[in-house]
Structure 1
């Protein structure tokens, strides 16, 4: 089957490469000529483990190609995926659907055969109806079915998630759309991946509901961590104890500095705006957004407190280890490190930082932060070391070297990757999240 993927960013490129690896003939389309040129050279526009090799192998096999020409790319395609960005719209927080609608208009005007148009972008409920109206208004004589097929890819594990999904959600309104989508995902039938067919609007809501629920779990355990610190509990024990309940589950119960990234912040906000439009408020999600926003700065204040308070911290140096919102990505969107660095900077603290993949993206967002070429370069002369992102490179730091380089053996672990007793034995004053202090 020929598949066209309009949009070659994170979702489009990963999805296109995986479809090609299944044996489909895939064309990835993007208006950004420089991005397409780099892809032709084998240069990935994003960091995702294994993606470069996956793209290279399928390009060599002749199953994956790239173009900026929509009409050329979709010619002969039985499934045309829309995988462009839907960022939060400035001013009101609604999802910006201008890119989605522009693609729908161009696809409608360029179709040369019957096809299923698939919305892969994360879009508010009812977007598929408008995409269908736009395509029909183009006057295309061809049979078109508009389908919703949300993605559930975790950055850093996207290829595995695509090839071994928990579920595949397809929102279709007719048999034509359902039949084509069965053929698109037929290679996954061998893995017995569950496919859920629903109507289009339900599919659009599933994506937002899933992300909002996961964001709620993260925010809940972060508030439990604050309570543990005041009441003498250990949040990791609490998380383990409730996570063993099958009704709750253990995933997304790791306390930390708050959620960030390309999905949770914009999707929870878009869900709030959709709920307002339908006069059906989602109060729990409202609270989640507010609590998460305040938590990031609270983590900056946690570091200031560890340094002895506002007055004592002025003029001191902090080493930030990890800048991206999670490991195994270069994504800095809404990363907690941004607010933490701003809070520290406002308190007169100087900052040196290191991240294995995110520093190029971080530089324009953190102009006052000194980027270093190794964790130890950042630690040299620091009054405190702060672990913000749980990269594997930070899980086995040479603690003797850290103590020798830093001004003081003070480590603030916002991801709880070290054992408090081990840190005490190593001679550190150690602060973590929701656990007893070690000093």
Structure 2
């Protein structure tokens, strides 16, 4: 089939490349000329494992191309995937639909009155948006939420756990089944529902995951007060098949462009619908998550005698999660910046996100290798759980720091080798490390 993808940011670029890999002919469209040029050259505008090879392969076959022309998109095919961003609205918890509305308005003259035209939304939007756009567009609209995890996006697209589509006609459902036929033949569940349900799935899923993270972090606070170990608690809880171990990861909490934004957007939309009390708990989920950054600051400051002033602090991690260069709402950088604001000299290391981190936080200092970041450090803060950091040699690192003190804010480093090498190790929810 001939498909277009409107918006070639994180979701759109991955989706376009994967659709081409499934055998379709795909045109990616974006107003950002520099991004289009990079993608045409096979260069992803962000770090995502496996995407560069997939992109280059698809471009080389001729099944994937990119353009900044909606005229070209309209003439290329009749099915258009809408993948533009829906950031948090400035001064509000609600989603900003500026880019969605602009894209639909631009497409409308080409799609209106075309009985074969189908707009398929993948952007995360407030419930009710698809129905509003359908009336505005005068063409068939479906919604197909994305469930990509940064760092696993290619795998999540080509081997998804489920495909959800919100449709208003058997025709739209049949077209989407045809598009995803290779995945359905491989056994991927296909869930067809109405537009409002499809719009809610992504927001509800992310809100549930955020709740799970904040719940174990709330338990972490209780563990510290009671002298219990939160990792053992999480392991025991996760053995319960009704709960499961995933997302029971106590530590610095979640960030990025999805979970924080989505729980706020769902809350805001529920309040607009007069059902704010149904999700009022999500505000506490958000507050617990924000509190983990303050807890990490307090833990590190206490190890330095109560003050960061004129201390050297090494920060391991800048991206909001490993296997990504995304620094949007990064807990690691929020903590690093707060430490610097309290008078410390901070150096940050990250395997992939230094350029983006420097652009977002130009006042911070960055290092290209861990040893340089840790040179003469009074404390080392482990803030993003990159696999590389689990391979560090504590003995070698102890020779470059001024004080062998480690705060494992992600609770993913084995403390025993560090303690054996002479390090003082602390982690949230694990007061037993201090004994």
Shorter chain as normaliser: what TM range?
A: over 0.9
Aligned to 2:281: 284
Q: Which residue, out of 158, 166, 172, partners 1:163?
A: 158
Cα deviation, residue 207, structure 1: 0.9
Unmatched 5+ stretches in structure 2: none
- Whole-angstrom CA distance in 1 between matches of 2:63 and 2:100: 25
- Whole-angstrom CA distance in 2 between matches of 1:17 and 1:297: 40
1:15 correspondence with 2:10:
no
Q: Is the 8 A contact 2:254 2:289 kept in 1?
A: yes
Q: Is the 8 A contact 1:383 1:406 kept in 2?
A: yes
SS, match of residue 212 in structure 1? helix
Cα deviation, residue 297, structure 1: 2.5
Q: Is the 8 A contact 2:220 2:428 kept in 1?
A: yes
Question: Cα deviation per residue 1:212-270 (whole Å; 9 max; x = unaligned)?
Answer: 00000011111111211221222111111111112111110111111100100111111
SS, match of residue 71 in structure 1? helix
Q: Which residue, out of 291, 311, 315, partners 1:320?
A: 315
Aligned to 1:180: 175
Question: Cα deviation per residue 1:169-206 (whole Å; 9 max; x = unaligned)?
Answer: 11111111111111111110122001111100011011
SS, match of residue 405 in structure 1? coil
1:384 correspondence with 2:379:
yes
Aligned to 1:125: 127
Aligned to 1:90: 90
Q: Is the 8 A contact 2:381 2:407 kept in 1?
A: yes
- Whole-angstrom CA distance in 2 between matches of 1:191 and 1:176: 23
- Whole-angstrom CA distance in 2 between matches of 1:334 and 1:286: 17
Aligned to 1:220: 215
- Whole-angstrom CA distance in 2 between matches of 1:175 and 1:105: 26
Cα deviation, residue 294, structure 1: 2.5
- Whole-angstrom CA distance in 1 between matches of 2:33 and 2:76: 23
Cα deviation, residue 93, structure 1: 2.1
- Whole-angstrom CA distance in 2 between matches of 1:376 and 1:32: 38
- Whole-angstrom CA distance in 2 between matches of 1:15 and 1:305: 46
Q: Is the 8 A contact 1:75 1:113 kept in 2?
A: no
Aligned to 1:262: 257
Q: TM-score, normalised by structure 2?
A: 0.96
- Whole-angstrom CA distance in 1 between matches of 2:247 and 2:141: 33
- Whole-angstrom CA distance in 1 between matches of 2:249 and 2:124: 25
- Whole-angstrom CA distance in 2 between matches of 1:346 and 1:360: 21
Cα deviation, residue 165, structure 1: 1.1
1:145 correspondence with 2:147:
no
Question: Cα deviation per residue 1:113-156 (whole Å; 9 max; x = unaligned)?
Answer: 612110100000011012112211xxxxxxx3200110000000
Q: How many residues align?
A: 430
Question: Cα deviation per residue 1:303-330 (whole Å; 9 max; x = unaligned)?
Answer: 11122212xx311010000011100101
Unmatched 5+ stretches in structure 1: 137-143
Cα deviation, residue 438, structure 1: 4.5
- Whole-angstrom CA distance in 2 between matches of 1:62 and 1:306: 58
Q: Which residue, out of 189, 198, 203, partners 1:194?
A: 189
Aligned to 1:397: 392
- Whole-angstrom CA distance in 2 between matches of 1:92 and 1:222: 26
- Whole-angstrom CA distance in 1 between matches of 2:196 and 2:99: 20
The 3 A distance-change label for structure 1 pair 109 and 13 is same
Q: Which residue, out of 302, 307, 318, partners 1:305?
A: 302
When structure 1 is superposed on structure 2, of 106-115 and 339-348 the one drifting more is 106-115
Aligned to 2:204: 209
When structure 1 is superposed on structure 2, of 191-200 and 231-240 the one drifting more is 231-240
1:253 correspondence with 2:248:
yes
When structure 1 is superposed on structure 2, of 106-115 and 287-296 the one drifting more is 106-115
The 3 A distance-change label for structure 1 pair 177 and 339 is same
Q: Is the 8 A contact 1:101 1:134 kept in 2?
A: no
Aligned to 2:406: 411
SS, match of residue 43 in structure 1? coil
- Whole-angstrom CA distance in 2 between matches of 1:75 and 1:98: 25
1:437 correspondence with 2:433:
yes
Cα deviation, residue 363, structure 1: 1.2
- Whole-angstrom CA distance in 1 between matches of 2:286 and 2:272: 18
When structure 1 is superposed on structure 2, of 407-416 and 75-84 the one drifting more is 75-84
Cα deviation, residue 76, structure 1: 4.2
Across the aligned residues of Structure 1 and Structure 2, the Cα RMSD in angstroms comes to: 1.3
